[in-house]
């Protein structure tokens, strides 16, 4: 639900809020990916070096994904239970709705000011101020604009955080605009080793991942008449596989499933509780999965979205089919 006191701000107003604060908490969504955590850390580094007291955190899990931990060069990440209860300024990054903050959602109420920085189309605005740009391919793009407007020099640690967000949210720059390619080039000039940053994020898995992937793909089902006749492929990751694997391995399954030639839409249901499932949804650009996810209480981008629901997997899949049947086609 949108906070009725929320109001949109432009780049200049967002910079004013950031530079005026002496105490800042930056939050990513639960299970933060490289764009969420990289953006939070890049902005946190800049504010920390300006003299602000800075914490970076997220509601769950207890620690960042292993592939993201070396981005935190200044030790800004703190566990959720150590986050200041009523920060002067709360900055929420890459988070489409307040419920995606999990157990830290209350900070959006207790903070003196809450600034939301996000690029999800489904983000209707929450907190006291929101700076949302659905045209940006990644929240990292928006953060780099903010750093430039603040007059911050982008050093190597900051550039690595931003590059991690760009490379993942653009699918290794396959969905990047010329301007975003230029941003990436600028980060490389700052010293980023593209291979060293990208490999652990996209191209490295433990041997156990192969067994997990085999078990999940055994559940894969292709329904060529679903998703408005464009095809749906879906698979399930049961609780034992979710809890037994690294976050990176669980989240990587959708990228395998989405390669199915006969399916426009791909969905992976991940069991995170006895009757609770989170879902990753992807399309190849012909159907709006953000609209489908929004109908299910989630959100995201037109080609990449997600949601969380309670219930049994067959029931949730039925709801997914109905949501995709009603989802708009993209031009």
| CATH code, domain carrying 179 | 3.90.1640.10
Q: Could you report the per-residue pLDDT of 163-177, keeping only the tens digit for each?
A: 999 999 999 999 899
According to the model, what pLDDT value does residue 3 have? 44
Q: Could you report the per-residue pLDDT of 194-249, keeping only the tens digit for each?
A: 999 999 999 999 999 999 999 999 999 999 999 999 999 999 999 988 776 678 88
According to the model, what pLDDT value does residue 122 have? 84
Among 90-94, 250-254, 273-277, top mean pLDDT goes to 90-94
According to the model, what pLDDT value does residue 156 have? 98
Question: Quick one: 148 and 275 in the same domain?
Answer: no
According to the model, what pLDDT value does residue 248 have? 85
Domain end: 202, 224, 250, which one? 202
Question: Quick one: 178 and 132 in the same domain?
Answer: yes
Work out the pLDDT band at 2, boundaries 50, 70, 90: very low
Q: What is the mean pLDDT of the chain?
A: 94
Half-sphere exposure at residue 111, Cβ-oriented, CA atoms within 13 angstroms: 27
Instruction: Reply yes or no on whether the pLDDT at 132 is more than 70.
Output: yes
Mean pLDDT for 300-320 is: 94
Question: Quick one: 139 and 272 in the same domain?
Answer: no
| CATH code, domain carrying 264 | 3.10.310.30
- For the chain, the straight-line distance linking the first and the last C-alpha, in angstroms and rounded, comes to 29
DSSP element (H, E) containing 252 = helix 247-257
Mean pLDDT for 160-164 is: 98
d(C-alpha 37, C-alpha 104), whole Å = 15
Closest alpha carbon to 114 in 45, 10, 14: 14
Domain end: 170, 202, 234, which one? 202
Axis crossing angle, helix 139-150 with helix 178-189, rounded to the nearest 10: 60
Instruction: Reply yes or no on whether the pLDDT at 292 is more than 90.
Output: yes
Question: Quick one: 176 and 275 in the same domain?
Answer: no
Q: Could you report the per-residue pLDDT of 35-88, keeping only the tens digit for each?
A: 999 999 999 999 999 999 999 999 999 999 999 999 999 999 999 999 999 999
Domain end: 154, 179, 202, which one? 202
According to the model, what pLDDT value does residue 241 have? 87
Pair 300, 95: CB distance under 8 Å: no
């Amino acid at each position: 639900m949108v906070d009725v006191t929320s109001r949109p701000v432009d780049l200049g107003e967002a910079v004013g809020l950031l530079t005026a604060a002496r105490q800042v908490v930056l939050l990513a969504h639960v299970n933060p990916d490289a764009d969420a955590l990289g953006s939070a850390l890049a902005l946190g580094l800049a504010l920390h070096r300006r003299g602000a007291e800075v914490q970076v955190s997220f509601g769950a899990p207890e620690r960042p994904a292993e592939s993201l931990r070396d981005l935190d060069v200044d030790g800004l990440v703190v566990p959720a239970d150590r986050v200041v209860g009523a920060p002067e300024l709360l900055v929420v990054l890459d988070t489409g709705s307040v419920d995606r903050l999990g157990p830290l959602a209350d900070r959006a109420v207790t903070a003196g000011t809450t600034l939301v920085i996000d690029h999800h189309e489904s983000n209707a605005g929450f907190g006291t101020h929101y700076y949302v740009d659905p045209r940006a391919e990644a929240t990292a793009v928006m953060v780099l604009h903010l750093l430039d407007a603040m007059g911050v020099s982008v050093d190597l640690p900051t550039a690595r955080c931003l590059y991690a967000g760009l490379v993942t949210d653009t699918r290794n720059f396959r969905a990047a605009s010329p301007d975003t390619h230029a941003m990436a080039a600028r980060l490389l000039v700052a010293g980023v080793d593209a291979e060293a940053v990208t490999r652990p994020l996209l191209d490295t898995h433990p041997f156990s991942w192969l067994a997990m992937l085999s078990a999940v793909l055994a559940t894969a089902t292709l329904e060529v008449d679903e998703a408005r006749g464009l095809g749906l492929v879906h698979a399930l990751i049961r609780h034992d596989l979710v809890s037994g694997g690294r976050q990176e391995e669980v989240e990587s399954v959708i990228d395998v499933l989405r390669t199915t030639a006969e399916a426009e839409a791909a969905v992976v249901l991940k069991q995170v509780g006895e009757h609770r499932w989170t879902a990753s949804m992807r399309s190849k650009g012909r159907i709006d999965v953000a609209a489908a996810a929004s109908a299910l209480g989630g959100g995201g981008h037109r080609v990449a979205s997600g949601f969380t629901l309670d219930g049994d997997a067959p029931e949730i899949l039925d709801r997914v089919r109905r949501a995709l049947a009603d989802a708009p086609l993209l031009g």
